[in-house]
Structure 1
């Protein structure tokens, strides 16, 4: 079992490096990519801190469809180009939203969410889905989170490529 405890004295960068290393250990211990994606979402949920939802939305026939996640039940389908997740797919780049209530067209799957970070995922040069992190804290995510989670997204993409 990979521990979810993160030493409090670590900087945010050190924290994310440890999270990434532990995700690699999880993947090394299990050959099934779907099991790994499920565990990745649970691990991020318990270790990133200050989040109320972490999960994947998978691009299926032009819609974003709920994939592995940790948190409360969520919207099963997101219309193309709608909300923060749709904006990430449309723009092909991460969306860092300090106040979701100020984001035009935000889709509230959980009214407690106040900030969001969405990272597009690509496999073989095409968008495969998004990594979505929600927080009940306004401005929870910053550029350090974005950069670190974009690196972690590469670990997610490596699993997705094996599905």
Structure 2
């Protein structure tokens, strides 16, 4: 599940390590774009079998593309539309085993088959979402969800 070149522990230990690496990268840096850029790069290096990882940020009641790693993506997503927009509206993580079965899925990359979206919420306000796509069905599981939510909790402290 991980780039074994850097992470040699259990999946849970590896996630704990990458969360510590995130905190070290962000410490003392107040710039939101720099922090989101490093967070997406870190996850791209950390996770295997993904084809896109990045952020959509709230702007005037819609999600707008932020820092990411992967192919060019949809620029604007209405709240409530697709996996990202639904996660933003509900302010909760959505894990989709097969995006083709998700009503209203927005296909920015036809190669994406599964997806996880974690909302970025600070002081009760939605900042945006973390979006990760995979070209494999059922790529993400409950451990990914739990640890990515912890990753986002650390990230949001610096936004």
Do they superpose with TM above 0.5? yes
Find the counterpart in structure 2 of residue 101 from structure 1. 100
Question: Matches of 2:32 and 2:104 in 1, distance apart?
Answer: 33
* Counterparts of 1:28 and 1:159, CA distance in 2: 8
Q: CA separation in 1, counterparts of 2:24 and 2:127?
A: 24
* Partner SS state of residue 36, structure 1: helix
Shift of the alpha carbon at 1:31?
A: 4.6
Give the TM-score of the pair, scaled to structure 2: 0.92
Aligned counterpart, 1:17: 16
Name the TM-score, length of structure 1 as normaliser. Answer: 0.90
Partner Cα separation in structure 2 for residue 81 and residue 134 of structure 1: 18
Q: Deviations over 1:93-131 (max 9, x none)?
A: 100000001101000110100000001111221111101
Where does residue 45 of structure 1 map in the other structure? 44
C-alpha RMSD over aligned residues = 1.5
CA distance in 2 between counterparts of 1:24 and 1:80 reads: 29
Map of 1:29-40 to 2, 5 A cutoff? 30-40=29-39
CA distance in 2, matches of 1:85, 1:7: 28
Q: Could you tell me which runs of 5 or more consecutive residues in structure 1 were left unpaired when the two chains were aligned.
A: none
Partner of 1:79: 78
C-alpha contact 2:22 2:155 (8 A) present in aligned 1: no
Number of equivalent positions: 156
Question: Could you tell me how far 1:34 is from its partner in structure 2?
Answer: 2.2
For the residues of structure 2 that align with 1:73 and 1:105, how far apart are their CA atoms?
20
Cα distance in 2 for residues equivalent to 1:128 and 1:32: 14
Contact 2:63 2:128 in 1 (8 A): yes
Unaligned regions of 5+ residues in structure 2, if any?
none
Shift of 1:74: 0.5
Runs (4+) off by over 6 Å: none
Alpha-carbon distance, 1:48 to partner: 1.6
